[in-house]
Amino acid sequence: MAHAGFATEEGTQGYAEAHSSVCHPGHYRQLDGLRLSSIGIGTYLGEADEATDAAYRESVAAAVRGGCNVIDTAVNYRFQRSERSIRAALDDLFAAGEASREALVISTKGGFIPFDTHPPQGQADFTEYMRKTYFEPGVCAPQDIVANCHCMTPAYIRHELDASLANLGLETIDVYYVHNPETQLQEVSREVFLSRLRDAFETLEAAVAEGKIRSYGTATWNGYRMSPGEGEYLSLEEVLDAARAAGGQDHHFRVVQLPLNLGMPEAFSKPNQSLGGETTCFLAAAAKNGITVMTSGSILQGRAAQGLPPVIGEVFPGFATDGQRALQFTRSAPGVAVALVGMRRIAHVAENMEVAKSPPAPFEDFIRLFREE
């Protein structure tokens, strides 16, 4: 039976208040009145096996108990197993009365072809899976798939959204992302891409009306970090034009996810977006347009968790590990609401949630890393 409801202002505010004794007030930010934890749990990495399923089930529950109310996943993560592990954690939390559906902001994504439970065993297995799952039912046609892995036609988006709702055991998802839409630009023109994006957004506007999602956005890797003119570059201005074409001025495009970490600072440092005739960085453009930003790769998938230069400790004092300092960098970037970090072990949850006890670094400290010596 699916869990009814969605994140609400009252539910998330109550959650923040309930964790005020262990989390700094600055740990919670706002999205359309909701209170979001500045650290969210991601579920991308890990083997497609029962041990990792169990680990995520435990770590998601531990994160929610510890002050993290933002949970992020995607239908293709670990062959749909990450979504199902989250469902198991939610079942545990709700059954024990340790959290309510209204307190949690849950996001997922659709775009990459997800296999079911395990990867295909060879080309014949792949072909049969695609035929039975997508082609014969009319979800999509072979020509709709880009780079042998990505699709965002309306029927496909509807199919993947319904799969995610079933996997997560939810009636409503709070944020639904079109996953790495810039992948399409590897094979189609920008004009065709923007038309496809508008069609996907129209589908998601309909999903809002149906109560299946509350808002939508784009989760990207390269697009918003590239320079205009590069193949997979995404203009936030063009993306929002597509949202307005799909849903009018009251469209429900609310959130963008993109990488930001010590090794990938472009969202803050690179002026590549047009804003009122001027060029600015992505975070500034998003803030001006009222778009909430959640970051992925916040500690560079663990690579920023050790061996950082001493200056990082000077700028972000009071933390025990480089992983905590790296996370503090990302959650302190101006315009960032939530820094997502993969946590599939209880020890990772404990280490990362220690950061929530401190306020974000003030801008004058954060900016020191970008000033010339």
Residue 301 confidence (pLDDT): 64
4 in a structural domain: no
Average pLDDT, the chain: 95
What is the percent of the chain with per-residue pLDDT over 90, rounded to a whole number?
90
The mean pLDDT value for 70-94 works out to 98
Say whether pLDDT at 121 is over 50: yes
Stretch among 20-34, 61-75, 140-154, 295-309 having the lowest mean pLDDT: 295-309
Residue 306 confidence (pLDDT): 72
Alpha-carbon distance of 266 to 286, in angstroms, equals 14
Alpha helices for 66-113 (secondary structure H): 81-95
287 in a structural domain: yes
Number of domains in the chain: 1
Alpha-carbon distance of 34 to 103, in angstroms, equals 9
Residue 299 confidence (pLDDT): 86
Please report how many Cα atoms fall inside a 13 Å half-sphere around the Cα of residue 61, on the Cβ side. 19
Domain hosting residue 52, numbered range: 9-370
307 in a structural domain: yes
Please report which confidence band the pLDDT of residue 120 belongs to, taking 50, 70 and 90 as the band edges.
confident
pLDDT single digits (tens) 216-268:
999 999 999 999 999 999 999 999 999 999 999 999 999 999 999 999 999 99
2 in a structural domain: no
267 CB-near residues (< 8 Å, 6+ apart): 224, 225, 258, 259, 260, 281, 282, 283, 293, 295, 333
219 in a structural domain: yes
Residue 370 confidence (pLDDT): 85
3 in a structural domain: no
- The SS3 call for residue 319 is coil
47 CB-near residues (< 8 Å, 6+ apart): 78
Alpha-carbon distance of 261 to 330, in angstroms, equals 6
23 in a structural domain: yes
| Nearest alpha-carbon partner for 32 in 282, 204, 253, 268 | 253
Residue 373 confidence (pLDDT): 41
What is the percent of the chain with per-residue pLDDT over 70, rounded to a whole number?
98
| Nearest alpha-carbon partner for 257 in 243, 271, 267 | 267
User: Based on the number of CB atoms within 10 Å of its own CB, is 223 exposed (0-12), middle (13-18) or buried (19 or more)?
Assistant: buried
CATH of the domain at 96: 3.20.20.100
Say whether pLDDT at 1 is over 90: no
What is the model's pTM?
0.96
33 in a structural domain: yes
pLDDT single digits (tens) 180-218:
999 999 999 999 999 999 999 999 999 999 999 999 999
pLDDT single digits (tens) 295-354:
999 987 666 567 888 889 999 999 999 999 999 999 999 999 999 999 999 999 999 999
Say whether pLDDT at 30 is over 60: yes
The mean pLDDT value for 36-63 works out to 97
